[in-house]
Amino acid sequence: MTVIEKINRAKRPLFTFELLPPLKGHSIERVYRTIESLLEFEPAYINFTSHRNEVQYIESPDGTLEKRFSRVRPGTIALSAAVKYKYNITVVPHLLCGGFTREETENALIEMNFLGIEDVFALRGDPPKGSRSFIPERGGNENAKALVEQISATGRGEYINGHVDSSSPSKFCIGVAGYPEKHFEAPNMEIDLLNLKSKVDAGAHYIATQMFFDNAAFFRFRDNCRKIGIDVPIIPGIKPISALNDIRLLPQTFHIDLPADLYNAVAKCKTDEEAREVGIEWTTMQTKELIKEGVPGIHYYTLGRSDNVARIVKASF
Ligand code: FAD
């Protein structure tokens, strides 16, 4: 069943989470362990992030540095398929514009179709590290809307080199990203929302949001989406604070605000364990309120750690 089918049939809010593929050369077992620790809460689906190639500088024996491009976390599609068949669960691989040509994207969609994967999360991707602006690959999609258009066209049998009357069209349920506190590059919220609407108009079936720590920001965002005619389901994405450093790193990395109460509570902590406890308490409070307000599901950013998410879900769903 696809994500949108699950949302439409659900009698209670869905519990879902996101995982990263292992670092290159590392085992899939850690991913399995994380999934198994959350299976008892019946996740509706699992997202797998995608990571573009990054520049790495490798030191040669003579001390010179060689510049190499490499993907540090490859394998999103294969990992998704392995999990789908091991646990009989819906999986949602992320597909990026950044670092991929349209041809490579088309091939990825064909592979996913052969593997029986019916869901995809369409993203532009961030600018590469050290670069201020996003530049698409030559022959690649320039933003998530263009990627959604390509995925939708492929589902109608419209491939890059022409139409194919297909007995097995690569039709996908498509998710896209929304930003309750605005995407950092958008000049204002209004324009960001119109861009979001253009992704939905291009064929996206639902929206999952960037993490936020103040539910009021999500409710405002949801109301503003409805006002401009975005009528697809909107799944809030949340993350428990799990280390002292998060109060510095999360706003920097994800361009989000931390409410003063949360910031002050973590700032008073002496250890990561204490900060994790504050994070669990805060995210449990967020979860309970979101469920009360009738969200279709809640998506947790685990970043590979599951014990805190397990405690939150146990206490709130
Ligand atoms: P877009 O929707 O293309 O928007 C990017 C910017 O361009 C926005 O400011 C938007 O307002 C603007 N824009 C869009 N269309 C137009 C237009 N037609 N004209 C002018 N401006 C326009 N990153 C990864 O690398 N891998 C992942 O797996 C990953 N997963 C994510 C999951 C979620 C739920 C979220 C919220 C983010 C994720 N990201 C991931 C991060 C994401 O790639 C970045 O936030 C990226 O900067 C924007 O991606 P997007 O798909 O939202 O871009």
- Give SS3 for 50: coil
Let me know if residue 291 belongs to a domain: no
The pLDDT tens digits of the residues spanning 19-29 come to 999 999 999 99
Number of structural domains the chain divides into: 1
Q: Which residues pair with 69 in a beta bridge?
A: 55
Gap between the Cα atoms of 180 and 150, Å rounded: 26
Residue 62 has a pLDDT of: 84
Let me know if residue 279 belongs to a domain: no
Let me know if residue 141 belongs to a domain: yes
Gap between the Cα atoms of 228 and 218, Å rounded: 16
Let me know if residue 191 belongs to a domain: yes
φ, ψ at 93 (rounded to 5°): -70, 145
CA distances from 221 to 50, 192, 199 (A): 26, 11, 16
Gap between the Cα atoms of 109 and 1, Å rounded: 18
Gap between the Cα atoms of 197 and 65, Å rounded: 45
Residue 132 has a pLDDT of: 82
Give, for 231, the enclosing helix (H) or strand (E).
none
| Nearest residue (CA) to ligand 1, atom 22 | 195
Q: Which residues of the chain have pLDDT under 50?
A: none
CATH (domain of 57): 3.20.20.220
| Nearest residue (CA) to ligand 1, atom 15 | 195
Gap between the Cα atoms of 312 and 308, Å rounded: 6
The answer to whether the CB of 186 is under 6 A from ligand 1 is: yes
Domain that holds residue 306: 3-240+298-316
Residue 147 has a pLDDT of: 98
The region that residue 99 occupies, defined by phi over 0 for left and psi between -120 and 50 for alpha, beta otherwise, is left
Q: What is the DSSP string of 96-153?
A: ESTT--HHHHHHHHHHHHHTT--EEEEE--PPPTT-SS--PPTTS-SSHHHHHHHHHH
| Number of residues in the chain | 317
Let me know if residue 121 belongs to a domain: yes
The answer to whether the CB of 144 is under 6 A from ligand 1 is: yes
Let me know if residue 211 belongs to a domain: yes
* Angle, alpha carbons 133-135-141 (nearest 5°): 130
Question: Which residue type does 294 have?
Answer: G
The answer to whether the CB of 54 is under 6 A from ligand 1 is: no
Residue 130 has a pLDDT of: 77
| Nearest residue (CA) to ligand 1, atom 17 | 195
CA distances from 306 to 74, 211, 246, 253 (A): 22, 17, 16, 21
Let me know if residue 262 belongs to a domain: no
Let me know if residue 146 belongs to a domain: yes
Gap between the Cα atoms of 195 and 200, Å rounded: 9
CA distances from 93 to 46, 59, 237, 246, 268 (A): 8, 34, 16, 26, 38
The answer to whether the CB of 239 is under 6 A from ligand 1 is: no
Written as six digits, the tokens of 295 are 């969200």
The answer to whether the CB of 2 is under 6 A from ligand 1 is: no
Ligand 1: centre distance to CA 96 (Å): 9
Q: Which atom of ligand 1 is nearest to the CA of 144?
A: 3
Using only C-alpha atoms, what is the Rg of the chain? 20
* Residue pair 37/305 in contact by the 8 Å Cβ criterion: no
Residue 304 has a pLDDT of: 75
Q: Which residues pair with 18 in a beta bridge?
A: 47, 301
